[in-house]
Structure 1
Amino acid sequence: MSHSQVTRIFAVRHGETAWNVDTRIQGHLDIPLNDTGRWQARRMAAALADEPIAAIYSSDLRRAHETAQALGEAVGVAVQTDTGLRERGFGSFQGLTFKEIEARWPDLALRWRKRDPSFGPEGGETLASFYARVVEAATRLARRHPGEAIALVAHGGVMDCLYRLASGVSLQAPRTWELGNASINRLLYNGEGFVLVGWGDTQHLADGTRDESSDGDRVGHAA
């Protein structure tokens, strides 16, 4: 594929929610942005306002869609939802804090911390199936836009999958990269795979963002 056919991707994590602050697992629960999250979304949108973004794809969950809407308004592009960009389904873990999960199910929490690809909470997704879903969605959407720039607005777990996909890091490797709220991450899709260009850009935010995510992803935990 020639350089002119490469797809530029801006992968953006949603802004902060009250449950992010509480380190409470959101998963597929539809939690809105808090005031800080809405401010972060506006700042992210302003930072990308001059980019020639041809399409914006968002998780259908409210926290991501609200973030995507801010970007859509800034660049004049309608937001399209795609359930493939949803956070990992955490089933029985959803609504609980990390400490509560570890207290109730220490054995399951250990498998989660060790990033067991075959583990999924009751009613939730395994890490392996979640990763496969994200890879399928990102590849499908990138292939639609050769030679264009697109935005994928989603969740901490999705961002983690994209980083691993583009950098060749295994699913079970501990995470050493940040997944800040409203961070901008840059990738290329060349028709054969993804290439990491830049990660964790939060220069558009005046103060620090929370990396400890209750989407279901933190250092040592499954995405």
Structure 2
Amino acid sequence: MRTLYVVTHPQATHHVEGVVGGWHDSRLTPTGVRAAASIAEALRGVIPDGAEVDLFSSDLQRTRQTAQEVAELFGVKLFLDRRLREKSYGAAGGRPQEWLDRRFVPPPAVGERMDLDEGVEGAETKAQWAQRIYAAMDEILRRAREHQIIVTHGGSLTFVVASWIKMPIESASYASFRAPPGSITTLREDDFFHNRQVVSLGDTRHLDSA
């Protein structure tokens, strides 16, 4: 049995400042720091003592801070992987959200959706974003561990889950698995059928006391 716990980082400064996140290297707010501790405690409550645990995180500050809370509580090494970052919004990163909103070109309802830059200079296409998340997931899943924790971003969660259920990248152009900041999504593969389940998506019950 393999279980993945996918954490979306909690409240960061770009959330409260109203600026675009993406690769903008925002930090957790005080509220986010408290939530990160609650996330670590929630994971400790469901992963057996003595179990071997892998811990992976995007290398941006807000995810790294969240993962460090987990690493300290579990006493495990933290592996940083820039491929687990949020989508890059290029020139929009760190600018006011309304600056991006004025320029953003949404994907069409039908037709090509994966290769658009969405009207922003230097922004990743959805295809580039998906490909790096899928590549990171391939490496993570090659490791033989019953318990693995991945700390990433709300947007990137979609491609973590899509990769987990082996959705072809070209079919992920319409996929959207939404989860709030500070949530835990639980994914599980059984040892008999090797089916991959989405056990829970975007659970935030642990944040009630944060």
**1:138 to partner: Cα distance:** 1.2
Match of 2:127 in 1: 128
Tell me, yes or no, if the aligned pair for 2:9 and 2:152 is still in contact at 8 Å. yes
- Distance in 2 of aligned mates of 1:102 and 1:48: 36
| CA shift in 2, pair 1:116/1:96, >3 Å | farther
Does residue 185 of structure 1 match 2:185? yes
Match of 2:207 in 1: 205
- Distance in 2 of aligned mates of 1:188 and 1:25: 32
Tell me, yes or no, if the aligned pair for 1:165 and 1:194 is still in contact at 8 Å. no
Match of 1:216 in 2: none
| CA shift in 2, pair 1:77/1:144, >3 Å | same
Match of 2:149 in 1: 151
Match of 2:138 in 1: 139
Aligned length: 197
Match of 1:96 in 2: 95
- Distance in 1 of aligned mates of 2:135 and 2:44: 28
- Distance in 2 of aligned mates of 1:71 and 1:160: 22
Q: Which amino acid aligns with 1:129?
A: Q
Q: 1:117 aligns with which of 114, 119, 122?
A: 114
Q: Which amino acid aligns with 2:183?
A: S
TM-score (norm 2): 0.82
- Distance in 2 of aligned mates of 1:181 and 1:130: 19
**1:188 to partner: Cα distance:** 2.9
CA RMSD of aligned residues (A): 2.7
- Distance in 2 of aligned mates of 1:190 and 1:92: 43
Tell me, yes or no, if the aligned pair for 1:53 and 1:151 is still in contact at 8 Å. no
Match of 1:83 in 2: 82
Q: Which amino acid aligns with 1:119?
A: L
**1:28 to partner: Cα distance:** 1.4
Q: 2:161 aligns with which of 147, 160, 163?
A: 163
**1:77 to partner: Cα distance:** 1.1
Gaps in structure 2 of 5+ consecutive residues: none
Aligned to 2:150, the other structure's residue is in SS state: strand
TM-score (norm 1): 0.78
Aligned to 1:49, the other structure's residue is in SS state: helix
Q: Which amino acid aligns with 2:134?
A: V
Gaps in structure 1 of 5+ consecutive residues: 1-5, 209-223
| CA shift in 2, pair 1:113/1:153, >3 Å | farther
Tell me, yes or no, if the aligned pair for 2:162 and 2:175 is still in contact at 8 Å. no
Deviations 1:137-191 (A, max 9, x none): 0121121124x2110111112112123334559433374x532111001113579
Q: Which amino acid aligns with 2:113?
A: D
Deviations 1:80-121 (A, max 9, x none): 111121112111121123322232x2xxx1335869311223
Aligned to 2:121, the other structure's residue is in SS state: coil
- Distance in 1 of aligned mates of 2:108 and 2:99: 14
